[in-house]
Structure 1
Amino acid sequence: MRTIIGPALSVAALLCCSACSDSGPPGYQGYVEGEYVHIAAPIGGRLQKLQVQRGQTVAARAALFSLESDEEQAARAQAEQQLKAAQAQLADLRQGRRSPELEVVQAQLAQAQAAEAQAAQQLKRDEDQFEAGGIARAQLDDARANLAIRQARVRELAGQLQVSRLPAREEQIRAQDAQVAAARAALSQLDWRLGQKQLLAGQAGLVVDTLYREGEWVPAGSPVVRLLPPGHVKLRFFVPEPQLGGLKPGARLRIQCEGCPAELAAQVSYVASEAEYTPPVIYSKDTRAKLVFMVEARPAEADAARLRVGQPVTVTLP
């Protein structure tokens, strides 16, 4: 938010009635204005620390104030743990079962293979006994069924071991990957909120005012520090219509003021397109000099630090 504040000077008081001398360039009275930058947090909170004072000059990226952030820090810690849990679950889905679980299945498979071998030997003995007439067919059928059961068990455990070595299905992995992305986005959002509780100066400037004290509640969007960067200092003066022709944006001016160490320079940044006037008159060729146009100029940043908002200045045209 930017606010332009200048003294409530009348147009008549700003306009110098004539040039300082017939031989010198015309000079006009004006004043200094400032376009303030209001520093506010987009999130409300209690003002924990105010790190600047009125009248202090701060550099770019200097700390200005901080709001209490206990709630945001706790929420961030929770979001960080949720992200770690989601990442661990995703890694588990991609790796398949753990080694101890695989060892259990391998042991079961070895046991089933041993049982299969035993059932095969028993079937061979029963077949020999059946050919010799030593056993009934029913016993031979039981031996064959037992071998088939053992073989099926071996195939089951071999397939289970193969599946255990595989990661989870692609759909499950994609779903968990989305959960990780959501947790990471939530953490980023909380990092942003936490960062908004500590405000820095976007550019160097003068701290014109502080609007809250430590311990007070600051609503969201409410300015706490009012800053005036050197590039936001400007001069405002009024020029009669006859002398307006030589003034265009970019024109160089000279500035004089009380207390200034030397003559300062400025550059025209704006010339009004509409005329204003001194106390009401009926327009005629004889009174056209009473029509004035507002002109704004920007001093160099090095010179702007020597000027104060509301300070009267004398502007000399080229």
Structure 2
Amino acid sequence: MNIIVTREMVDSITKIIMKLSEKHIIRLMLIFVLVVAVAALIGYRYWDRDHEGELALTFYGNVDMREVQLAFMVQDRIVKLNVNEGERVTQGQLLGQLDTTRFESAVRELEAQLERAHQQLSELEAGSRPQEIRKAQADVAAQKASLVETEKSYRRTLELVHEKFLSPQTLDDARSRLDVARARLKAANEALSLAVEGPRKEVIAAARASLEQTEARLKHARKDLLDTQLFAPADGVIRSRILEPGDIATPAKPVFTLAKLEPVWIRTYVPETQLGRIVPGMQAQIRTDSFPDTVYPGWVGYIASTAEFTPKNVETPALRTRLVYQVWVYACNPSNALRLGMPATVVLNIEAPRTGTDIPDCAPAQ
């Protein structure tokens, strides 16, 4: 249908505009500007939705963290456990205690042996006492005097035998007594020499080695006594309590399972077609269903070198039959809101620098 604009109509519109006040004209201009701004915003949102897949990659996975199996280093009966499942623990916190009777007895026994070894070594290193040397000297003097008297007796016996007053057998007996006296003097001189020189260096070295051996055994016994206590190796949460007081603990039987609070990562899977767009250090945003309005900053920390079939727990049916690569996206978790196994959505910003070094600081999530 054609609309014919006549001169009369133009004149009428002109008269209407002329009649409008300045206030009405300003209102009309504001309305026009507002309409243009709304239209531009709607257009940008539609454009951003169409190009969203080009600016970011979205993947799905679950929160993962390292777990530690905690066990006593020695074997005995458990007398006390201080924590239960779900409790948070700090590094160095005492978690459990074994019966210490056997280990305390071993320590006391070795401490006594060590004291005895110290005394024996000190005695050897000190050498002979002055009294022992003087006694050895006195023994030498006594043997010399005995030898002199024996020699005189032998000479008298020899004269009497030559004069036929005594039998030759008597001379043989006197000669034997003389030989014995000489041997005793020699033995006394050797004893005096040993007393003056003191113990041999080999004997002292053997005593020192025995002392060091006892010290090593005592150190091991004290370590066993300390190992009757179980301490938390890191901050974390007790996932499971496997044994109870009264059970026999061994190094091969874990008592607790500890989930460490750091590091935390999202284990996700990337198809081969998108693997080339991901590099270590790439920035990421992580969201969970539990806290949908909270964004946890993160970064790509690990990319598998071999492909695998998509695990069944990945909630993307189209990917379950494809070969994918496992990727770990480390997350900042200052409030410990990310829990083991929690489903999470990961958005990777492919426009961020690909240097692999732009890793965000783990500040509290906004």
1:22 aligned partner? 50
Seen in structure 2, the aligned counterparts of structure 1 residues 83 and 35 have a Cα distance that, compared at 3 Å, is: same
* Residues 154-163 or 167-176, more deviating: 154-163
Query: In 2, distance between residues paired with 1:261 and 1:179?
Result: 69
> In 2, are the aligned partners of 1:240 and 1:289 still within 8 Å (CA)?
no
Distance in 1 of aligned mates of 2:311 and 2:207: 74
AA in 2 matched with 1:270: Y
Are residue 233 (structure 1) and residue 233 (structure 2) matched? no
Q: Runs of 4 or more off by more than 4 Å in structure 1?
A: 102-113, 150-162, 287-290
C-alpha distance in structure 2 between counterparts of 1:288 and 1:229, whole Å: 31
Tell me if the contact between 2:78 and 2:97 (Cα under 8 Å) persists in the aligned partners. Answer: yes
Tell me the residue number matched to 1:259: 291
Residues in 1 aligned to 2:237 and 2:311: alpha-carbon distance in whole angstroms: 35
- 1:274 Cα deviation (Å)? 0.9
**1:71 paired residue among 102, 107, 112:** 102
1:316 maps to which of 332, 347, 351: 347
Deviations, residues 155-214 of structure 1 (Å, cap 9, x unaligned): 986764553243211222222222222222222222232232222222222222222222
Larger RCO (alpha carbons 8 Å, 6+ apart): 1
Distance 2:195 2:293 in 1: 85
Tell whether 2:64 aligns with 1:33.
yes
In 2, are the aligned partners of 1:89 and 1:176 still within 8 Å (CA)? yes
Residue number in structure 1 paired with 2:234? 203
For 1:265, give the aligned amino acid. P
Residue 238 of structure 1 aligns with an amino acid whose one-letter code is: Y
- Tell me how far 1:229 sits from its aligned partner: 1.5
Evaluate the alpha carbon distance shift between residue 195 and residue 277 of structure 1 in structure 2; reply closer, same or farther with a 3 A threshold: closer
Q: Distance in 2 between matches of 1:157 and 1:299?
A: 86
Q: 1:276 maps to what in 2?
A: 309
Is the counterpart of residue 216 in structure 1 residue 244 in structure 2?
Answer: no
Tell me if the contact between 2:311 and 2:320 (Cα under 8 Å) persists in the aligned partners. Answer: no
Assess if the C-alpha contact under 8 Å between 2:242 and 2:254 holds in 1: yes
Q: Does 1:194 align with 2:222?
A: no
For the Cα contact (< 8 Å) 1:260–1:306, is it kept in 2? no
Contact kept, 8 Å, 2:296 with 2:333, in 1: the verdict is no
CA distance in structure 2 between the partners assigned to 1:75 and 1:252 by the alignment: 57
- Report the AA paired with residue 195 of structure 1: L
- The alignment status of 1:177 with 2:222, answered yes or no, reads no
Instruction: Give aligned pairs, total.
Output: 276
Distance 1:234 1:214 in 2: 35
- 5+ residue gaps, structure 2, are 1-47, 153-158, 161-180, 313-317, 350-366
Aligned pairs (5 A) from 1:100-249 = 100-102=131-133, 104-105=135-136, 160-161=191-192, 163-249=194-280
Percent of paired sites with the same residue: 27
Give the structure 1 partner of residue 326 of structure 2.
294
Matched letter for residue 242 of structure 1: T
Q: Single out whichever of 38-47 and 22-31 deviates more from structure 2.
A: 22-31
Length-normalised TM-score, structure 2: 0.61
TM-score normalised by structure 1 residue count: 0.69
| CA distance in structure 1 between the partners assigned to 2:222 and 2:205 by the alignment | 26
Q: Is this contact kept in 2: 1:265–1:300, CA < 8 A?
A: yes
Counterpart CA distance in 2 for 1:110 and 1:278 is 99
Larger Rg over CA atoms: 2
RMSD, aligned CA: 4.1
Secondary structure of the structure 2 residue equivalent to 1:74: helix
- Deviation of 1:69 after TM superposition, in Å, equals 2.3
Is the alpha carbon distance of 1:212 and 1:162 closer, same or farther for their aligned partners in structure 2, counting shifts above 3 Å? same
